[in-house]
Amino acid sequence: ATGFFETEEHPSEGRLTRLAAPVRFGAHDHIERRPAPRLGAHGREVLAEAGFSAQAIDALLAEGAVKLPDQP
Q: What is the per-residue pLDDT across 1-43, written as a single tens digit (0 to 9) for each?
A: 777 888 888 888 889 898 887 777 776 666 677 777 778 888 8
Nearest to residue 43, comparing CAs of 59, 67, 21, 25? 67
Contact 6, 18 (CB under 8 A): yes
Predicted TM-score (pTM) of the model is 0.55
- Please answer whether residues 40 and 68 qualify as being in contact, where contact means their C-beta atoms are separated by less than 8 angstroms: yes
CB atoms within 10 A of CB 57: 19
